[in-house]
Structure 1
Amino acid sequence: MSLEALHAKIADLDAEIGQQRELLQKLERAKSRLQCQINSVQDPLARLPLELSSQIFLRTLDVAPQPGAAHGPMLLLNICNSWSEIALAEPALWANIRITFGRTQNSQEILSIWLERARNKPLGVWLDGLLDLDLVAIVWRHAQQLKHLHLMTEGSYDDSDNGVQLWNPGSAPGQLPCLETLTIHGSLHERRCTKIFGPHILELLRLSPILSKCYFERCAPDSFSTHQSLVHRGLRELSIDDAGDLPLDCCAPFFASLSLPSLEFLFLPSIQIPYEATVSFLQRSTPPLRKLNMGEARVLLQCPTLFTALERLELYPSWLSAEKFLIAMDQSLSMLPNLAVWKMHFSHYSARQFFGLCWETLSNVLVARRTQIRVLDIQTPKIPAVQMNPAPDAVSTILHALVSDGMQINIDNFNRSVTSRYCSEFP
């Protein structure tokens, strides 16, 4: 057989192989379609309407799903074709994500694809670890959809003395019309807190007109410019907690820059803010505060008219501050006229001083407001009975009667013989 004939024979065989491959692919596709039909018959989930099966999948997710083949919704992509189609067709499955810097491989690619699959759904994003601002920039590109943003960071790769920055220069997010909750959690190290670049916090508030809840834990805004100011009419809850190792005046510029006329809940249990800065902020905002958690009671004593709507109060006072507060409450029923839940935390020394001097005044306040105050909870260190100044019998009788009438009174960690007659469990 000539060389030309051999080449021709090979060409014929190649053509026949190609035809057989096409036929095999056609048969495999036909088999796959039949298998899908069998799965649809056997799989009850596949027989459900898409909306119902999507809701079932949604109920299997964590609040903040992590990327990974072992976690939903990515796990659903690996079960079968029908489940994968349902998962990809439901954007709500991809509306929340948690990325841990340094642990999630290909973070930028995963985050981009994930958020694109969410289409136009409101987004919740959790970012943990040392901030990668290039990754954060992907989140800012979806600023229009962002509903909840949670940052847990000990810093960023671009830390400065002014605090952790939340975006690179020139790459600030656009408007955040859907953002409702902003949470920033700082250092996890004991006795160390994280400073956040204050102008970025203020800009986030400015860009988020419906933001209602703003929480800072183990961190605080810092390095504000004196000319910055903002009136935010949507913020209802503001919390700055566990930032005790930061300087006294660290948060003062933040409060000097803000007016919050809709604020209902102010949570400042462990940070120290200059008294003048706190008073100025409250007088400028005149908020309808309903819940207040703070260290001392001095502001309450000096500006009582700012707290007429207050329903829940939690204090961490010195015994002297607490004594002055009790005396003011005893002298005027117009002070905190709507207070219903009242909680105080005392140190070992303050507790002994307070209960050595204030039993009678405390009982007078409770009797005068017996139809107003529903709960009194006083948290104290455990104090040996020999160091206690127990309630006089007359006071004990009064407290017992108040509990019988329905008031819940809890004085924690005291010698049981002092409190057992009138101590009620705090909810």
Structure 2
Amino acid sequence: MSAQDIQAQIDIISQDIEQQKQVLKKLEWDRSLLQCQLNAVRDPITRLPLEIASEIFVHCLPPYPNPYTGRFLLNICNAWTRIAQSTPALWTTIYFAPGADGFEKLLGKWFQYAGNHPLNVHASGTLDSAVTETILRHSHHLARLELSSGTQNDVYEEDETLDVELLGGVLPEPLPVLRALAIRGAENTRFWSFPFLQLLRLSPNLTELELKDIEFVMEPEATGVHVLSNLCRLSVNIFNGRGIRTILGRISAPRLECLDLYGLGMHDNDPLTSFLRRSSPPLQKLHIVNVQNSRTVDEILSLLPTTTHVEFEYFGQRVAQDLFTQVLEQPTMLPNLQSLHCALMPSDLPWDAIPGVLSARRARIQSVRLECNAISIPADCLNALRDLSAGGMHICIGNKTRTIFPDNT
């Protein structure tokens, strides 16, 4: 048999194979159609109107935002895919770490599914301009924005500092529905202050602001004070007092109700007192970590006539003494106090003064928790605390491993 004859037979067989492939492809398609029909018969979801099926999907969402719910529903069947893609509420929370090829396209698709619903965006890592621009095209729908520049496990050279431009240096359009903003950095990470302050100015309806593990680089343009007229909750956890000064010195929050402050510094109370005087907020809850200066406590608490819940951590010995022997003895200091929590206090507390202070405030104060390493409480103080406890005041004294009051006697 010649080579030409062999090639002819190969061509015939190849044609037969292609024909069989087409037959197989049609059979697979027919099977897929029949499977869809079978699913429609078996699956009650597919027999429901789209609006009802979408509502069922939404009610099956986990209690906390889950970045995988929407994508999981896409992989069940074609009918569920269509329902999921037509249910914007499944796509309003977005978690991502940029870097994968084609990520901007995927992100754009996600935003498309979300429609005009408010968006919760959680981004970790460094944002390049393409990803940032994709996000900011939907800035008028951003309701919550969380940006994390790195993790504590990131490796840096010794003394190396990473200067980060917020949102990749791209200035957004106004964010009219942004309610919550969180910016989290890592050790050796610094943010330029001007873009951050610009972001605040573009967010007139911001109600929550969280800043954690970051340091700011001051710039000449970062001047003036911006009034956050709707801010209700502020949490600042910054490595050093200079960062605290940068934030508290540049904003005012006349409606602030809850303040969490970490890293104020050993003796640096000026940023906070200036902020409170400038804002005059109706503060309800105050939480401060690292309290070492009695004057700090006195000045801060004198500016909080509406505060009902106070929590201090890392007390100095003098602060603990003055808090109960001078500060809280003044009836004008924290007149609406209902809950007091003092954590990591020294062991030598002014036991003779504590019952009198609490008794004078028993009409309002409901809960007192003092965390310390004291071994025992003097008998007179113990009896007075028992009387207050019997009168309805919740009192707990001790530490995480041992409680010395109530003593169950």
- Give TM-score, length-normalised by structure 1: 0.79
Cα 1:330–1:341 change in 2 (3 A) is: closer
Q: Which residue does 1:172 correspond to in 2? A: 171
Contact 1:209 1:234 in 2 (8 A): yes
Contact 1:162 1:222 in 2 (8 A): no
- The Cα of 1:220 is off from its aligned counterpart by 4.2
Q: Which residue does 1:288 correspond to in 2? A: 282
Match of 2:189 among 184, 187, 194: 194
Secondary structure at 1:359's aligned position in 2?
coil
Contact 1:201 1:221 in 2 (8 A): no
- In the alignment of these two chains, the number of paired residues is 376
Give the partner amino acid of 2:242: D
The 5-angstrom pairing of residues 314-393 of structure 1 reads 314-316=311-313, 317-346=315-344, 351-353=346-348, 355=349, 358-380=350-372, 382=373, 385=375, 390-393=376-379
Q: Which runs of 5+ in 2 are unaligned?
A: 1-14, 155-159
Q: Which runs of 5+ in 1 are unaligned?
A: 1-13
Structure 1 CA distance for aligned equivalents of residues 321 and 188 of structure 2: 32
Q: Which residue does 2:263 correspond to in 1? A: 270
Identical-residue share of aligned pairs (%): 30
The 5-angstrom pairing of residues 35-74 of structure 1 reads 35-61=35-61, 63-66=64-67, 71-74=68-71
Q: Which residue does 1:407 correspond to in 2? A: 393
- The Cα of 1:352 is off from its aligned counterpart by 2.4
Structure 1 CA distance for aligned equivalents of residues 215 and 172 of structure 2: 21
Q: Which residue does 2:8 correspond to in 1? A: none
Cα 1:145–1:372 change in 2 (3 A) is: same
Give the partner amino acid of 2:326: A
- The Cα of 1:274 is off from its aligned counterpart by 3.1
Q: Which residue does 2:253 correspond to in 1? A: 260
Q: Which residue does 1:7 correspond to in 2? A: none
The 5-angstrom pairing of residues 82-161 of structure 1 reads 82-102=79-99, 104=100, 106-154=102-150
The answer to whether structure 1 residue 206 and structure 2 residue 206 are counterparts is: no
Q: Which residue does 2:4 correspond to in 1? A: none
Give the partner amino acid of 1:129: G
The answer to whether structure 1 residue 217 and structure 2 residue 242 are counterparts is: no
Secondary structure at 2:359's aligned position in 1?
helix
- The Cα of 1:48 is off from its aligned counterpart by 2.6
Give the partner amino acid of 1:86: I
Cα 1:375–1:186 change in 2 (3 A) is: same
Q: Which residue does 2:10 correspond to in 1? A: none
Secondary structure at 1:352's aligned position in 2?
coil
- The Cα of 1:334 is off from its aligned counterpart by 2.0
Output one character per residue of 1:43-100: Cα deviation in whole Å (capped at 9) or x when no partner.
Answer: 111123323322332344454444xxxx431222222221111011112211111112
Larger strand share, 1 or 2: 2
Cα 1:270–1:422 change in 2 (3 A) is: farther
Secondary structure at 2:182's aligned position in 1?
strand
The answer to whether structure 1 residue 182 and structure 2 residue 172 are counterparts is: no
Secondary structure at 2:322's aligned position in 1?
helix
Cα 1:327–1:206 change in 2 (3 A) is: same
Secondary structure at 1:251's aligned position in 2?
helix
Q: Which residue does 1:5 correspond to in 2? A: none
- The Cα of 1:283 is off from its aligned counterpart by 0.7
Structure 1 CA distance for aligned equivalents of residues 102 and 384 of structure 2: 66
Secondary structure at 2:310's aligned position in 1?
strand
Contact 2:324 2:353 in 1 (8 A): yes
The 5-angstrom pairing of residues 287-306 of structure 1 reads 287-294=281-288, 295-296=290-291, 298-302=295-299, 304-306=301-303
Secondary structure at 2:303's aligned position in 1?
helix
Contact 1:183 1:215 in 2 (8 A): yes
Contact 2:209 2:231 in 1 (8 A): yes
Contact 1:399 1:422 in 2 (8 A): no
Give the partner amino acid of 1:199: F
Give the partner amino acid of 2:147: L
- The Cα of 1:267 is off from its aligned counterpart by 0.6
Structure 1 CA distance for aligned equivalents of residues 227 and 401 of structure 2: 49
Cα 1:144–1:290 change in 2 (3 A) is: same
Contact 2:396 2:406 in 1 (8 A): no
- Give TM-score, length-normalised by structure 2: 0.82
Structure 2 CA distance for aligned equivalents of residues 302 and 290 of structure 1: 17
The answer to whether structure 1 residue 239 and structure 2 residue 239 are counterparts is: no
Give the partner amino acid of 2:394: Q
Structure 2 CA distance for aligned equivalents of residues 81 and 416 of structure 1: 58
Secondary structure at 1:410's aligned position in 2?
strand
Contact 2:244 2:263 in 1 (8 A): no
Give the partner amino acid of 1:341: S
Output one character per residue of 1:331-389: Cα deviation in whole Å (capped at 9) or x when no partner.
Answer: 32221111111011225xxx123x2xx11111111111112111111223x46x4xxxx
- The Cα of 1:205 is off from its aligned counterpart by 1.2
